[in-house]
């Protein structure tokens, strides 16, 4: 059975944050705003003014910086009482958005996401991640439905650090490989359904936009300018990539994060950087031609994305590290989403092939 999920409403553009009051008011219900400290310092006054002008008096909470179970409990205690919010709007980076999703999950409230960066496609999804105090992954949990509303202010995004935007491109560029492989293999998407071909089409379009506009979008960010290319890239990395992975499914590249997140120095790298590299390995495992792999890796290298473990972690892996990475990758539920079954040995051989083939590019 095909299952396709998405946010109810998506709003993107320069100045979109100014519309947060009107957008929240149209949803109806009491509101709690969870704001990360940086966003509160830069835009807090404007957010409050926009809410007041729409007749809203939301409860405002400041995020501590880590999405942990103790932090979630602290936030829930802060809104405990007879007037619990019906909407939780999370305004900030990925951890803040995860915490907002966690709050809404516990409260049975609707969730609104307002990302301050475009480093992943998480703002549109019904998934959130909880960590411990040492930033080790504790659990991946799921909401009953996707966010009610996503607001993406490209004037905010363009002011964020370049590496964060580049990581978002890395997370999006390989969705074409993962989603297509999952669909072809008859795998399950993030809703437990069959891959939607609408999601495959979105993954392909997302890939085409990245190839066509990534360089211009990065140049626009360097100038601090919101251009049509920048708008297209943000839509691709946040909306299209998010819808593609949730309703299309994942494969080897995201499976590899199990090992990459556990091994130093690769665990210190952003998710999107890990995924960009892992897609080069996936292409080898899925049987892509060497020319196709070379083109993909060449594009990634040209815009600043890693294509080897040595790129990603500033050193080559040891044989034992390759074995651990391959073994941990095999524990993922997405690992079977390939044209043919693979083993830990196959993964290790693909990792070694990538390191050898692209060593000169480092």
Dist. CA 299–CA 295, nearest whole Å: 6
Does 353 reside within a domain?
Answer: yes
CB 190 within 8 A of CB 241: no
Does 2 reside within a domain?
Answer: no
| 313/205 same-domain check | yes
Q: Which H or E run includes 222?
A: helix 197-223
Judged by DSSP in three states, 318 sits in: coil
Query: For residue 197, how many other CB atoms are within 10 A of its CB?
Result: 14
Dist. CA 90–CA 61, nearest whole Å: 10
- What pLDDT sits at residue 83? 81
Q: Which H or E run includes 250?
A: none
| 185/127 same-domain check | no
Does 134 reside within a domain?
Answer: yes
Does 1 reside within a domain?
Answer: no
Token pair for 331: 């524990």
The DSSP output letter for 59 is E
| 139/249 same-domain check | no
| 198/124 same-domain check | no
User: Structurally, how many domains does the chain consist of?
Assistant: 2
Nearest CA to 152 among 86, 234, 73?
Answer: 234
The DSSP output letter for 88 is E
| 237/316 same-domain check | yes
Q: What is the pTM of this model?
A: 0.94
| 172/153 same-domain check | no
- Distances in whole angstroms, Cα of residue 33 to Cα of each of 26, 103, 232: 16, 11, 28
Nearest CA to 262 among 323, 177, 195?
Answer: 323
Q: Which H or E run includes 295?
A: helix 290-303
The DSSP output letter for 194 is B
345 pLDDT above the threshold of 70: yes
Arithmetic mean of pLDDT, 156-160: 97
* Domain with 281 in it: 162-361
Arithmetic mean of pLDDT, 235-247: 97
Does 295 reside within a domain?
Answer: yes
| 217/187 same-domain check | yes
Does 5 reside within a domain?
Answer: no
Residue spans of alpha helices (H) in 143-196: 154-157, 162-173, 175-185
Does 17 reside within a domain?
Answer: yes
Judged by DSSP in three states, 338 sits in: coil
The DSSP output letter for 238 is I
CB 179 within 8 A of CB 199: yes
CATH number for 179: 1.20.1090.10
| 133/191 same-domain check | no
| 320/250 same-domain check | yes
- What pLDDT sits at residue 131? 85
Judged by DSSP in three states, 35 sits in: strand
| 120/187 same-domain check | no
Quick one: pLDDT band at residue 359, thresholds 50, 70, 90?
confident
Q: 110, 141, 157: which is the final residue of a domain?
A: 157
Dist. CA 143–CA 132, nearest whole Å: 20
Quick one: pLDDT band at residue 43, thresholds 50, 70, 90?
very high
Dist. CA 302–CA 219, nearest whole Å: 13
Mention every residue, 6+ apart, whose C-beta is less than 8 A from residue 265.
313, 314, 315
Burial readout 278-298 (b: 16 or more C-beta within 10 A, e: otherwise): bbbbbbbbbebeeeebbebbe
| 167/152 same-domain check | no
Does the N-terminal peptide bond of residue 265 adopt cis geometry, omega within 30 degrees of 0?
yes
361 pLDDT above the threshold of 70: no
Q: 157, 190, 220: which is the final residue of a domain?
A: 157
**Binding residue ranges for glycerol:** 121, 171, 254, 271
Distance of CA 346 to the CA centre of its chain: 27
Quick one: pLDDT band at residue 207, thresholds 50, 70, 90?
very high
Burial of residue 19 (number of CB atoms within 10 Å: 0-12, 13-18, 19+) = middle
**Binding residue ranges for NAD(+):** 36, 94-98, 125, 131
Does 342 reside within a domain?
Answer: yes
Quick one: pLDDT band at residue 139, thresholds 50, 70, 90?
confident
Arithmetic mean of pLDDT, 277-286: 98
CATH number for 20: 3.40.50.1970
pLDDT digits (tens, 9 = 90+) for 61-108: 999 999 999 999 999 999 977 789 999 999 999 999 999 999 999 999
- What pLDDT sits at residue 360? 57
CB 246 within 8 A of CB 5: yes
Q: 157, 172, 192: which is the final residue of a domain?
A: 157
- What pLDDT sits at residue 113? 98
| 153/166 same-domain check | no
217 pLDDT above the threshold of 90: yes
Q: Are strands 127-131 and 87-92 parallel, antiparallel or unpaired?
A: unpaired
Q: What angle do CA 112, 117, 121 make, to 5 degrees?
A: 65
Dist. CA 71–CA 128, nearest whole Å: 14
CB 20 within 8 A of CB 151: yes
């Amino acid at each position: 059975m095909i299952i396709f999920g998405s946010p109810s409403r998506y709003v993107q553009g320069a100045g979109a944050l100014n519309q947060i009051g009107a957008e929240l008011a149209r949803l109806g219900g009491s509101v709690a705003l969870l704001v990360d400290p940086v966003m509160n310092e830069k835009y807090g006054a404007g957010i409050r003014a926009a809410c007041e002008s729409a007749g809203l008096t939301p409860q405002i909470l400041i995020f501590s910086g880590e999405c942990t179970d103790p932090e979630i409990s602290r936030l829930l205690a802060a809104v405990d009482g007879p007037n619990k919010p019906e909407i939780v709007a999370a305004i900030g980076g990925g951890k803040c958005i995860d915490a907002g999703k966690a709050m809404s999950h516990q409260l049975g409230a609707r969730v609104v996401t307002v990302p301050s960066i475009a480093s992943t496609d998480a703002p549109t999804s019904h998934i959130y991640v909880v960590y411990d105090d040492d930033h080790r992954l504790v659990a991946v949990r799921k909401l009953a439905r996707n966010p009610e509303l996503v607001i993406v202010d490209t004037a905010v995004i363009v002011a964020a650090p370049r590496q964060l935007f580049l990581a978002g491109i890395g997370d999006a560029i390989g969705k074409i490989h993962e989603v297509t492989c999952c669909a072809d293999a008859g795998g399950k998407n993030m809703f437990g359904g069959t891959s939607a071909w609408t999601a495959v089409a979105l993954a392909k379009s997302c890939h085409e936009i990245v190839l066509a506009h990534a360089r211009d979008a990065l140049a626009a960010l360097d100038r601090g300018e919101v251009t049509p290319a920048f708008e297209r890239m943000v839509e691709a990395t946040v909306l299209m990539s998010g819808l593609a992975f949730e309703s299309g499914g994942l494969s080897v590249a995201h499976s590899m994060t199990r090992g990459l997140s556990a091994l130093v120095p690769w665990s210190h790298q952003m998710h999107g950087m890990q995924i960009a590299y892992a897609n080069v390995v996936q292409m080898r495992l899925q049987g892509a031609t060497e020319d196709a792999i070379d083109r993909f890796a060449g594009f990634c290298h040209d815009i600043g994305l890693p294509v080897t473990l040595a790129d990603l972690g500033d050193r080559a892996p040891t044989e034992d590290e390759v074995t651990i990475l391959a073994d941990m990758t095999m524990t993922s539920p997405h690992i079977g989403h390939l044209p043919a079954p693979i083993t830990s040995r196959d993964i290790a051989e693909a990792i070694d092939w990538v390191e050898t083939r692209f060593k000169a590019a480092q």
